């Protein structure tokens, strides 16, 4: 039997097994809100900060330049709150999968 080719990567994407392995502890046993001040939250925050450092090292930038967002609405408002003036980063990157309003805001920041 031949399987169809899945092309709707805007809807969902297959997970890399390495990503699943890296996230498994935080799904099964080491859960916590990284914004909380209790023990579970502190552990989660340490994990987020470690991941941010890994991504920054991969992208050759500072960890404080890495922003993440859990839902689609966040990226539409985050840049306007985080960057009140022109961005002075060596490069600006955004995915074509982002919502149009976010891309429009990125263009505005870049051209400011």
CB 44 within 8 A of CB 26: yes
Q: What is the pTM of this model?
A: 0.55
pLDDT in tens, 34-66: 888 999 999 999 998 999 899 899 989 889 888
pLDDT of residue 50: 93
Q: Which residues, including other chains, have CB under 8 Å from residue 47's CB and lie 6 or more apart?
A: 26, 30, 34
Tokens of 52: 């941010």
pLDDT of residue 19: 86
Average pLDDT, the chain: 74
CB 110 within 8 A of CB 92: yes
pLDDT above 70 for 71: no
The model's confidence at residue 90, banded by pLDDT at 50, 70 and 90, is: very low
């Amino acid at each position: 039997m031949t399987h169809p080719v899945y092309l709707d990567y805007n809807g969902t994407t297959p997970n890399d097994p390495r990503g699943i392995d890296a996230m498994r502890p935080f799904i099964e046993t080491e859960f916590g809100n990284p914004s909380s001040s209790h023990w579970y939250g502190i552990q989660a925050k340490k994990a987020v900060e470690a991941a941010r450092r890994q991504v920054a090292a991969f992208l050759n930038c500072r960890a404080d330049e890495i922003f993440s967002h859990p839902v689609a609405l966040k990226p539409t408002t985050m840049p306007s709150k985080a960057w009140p003036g022109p961005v002075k980063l060596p490069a600006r990157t955004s995915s074509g999968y982002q919502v149009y309003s976010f891309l429009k805001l990125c263009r505005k920041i870049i051209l400011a």
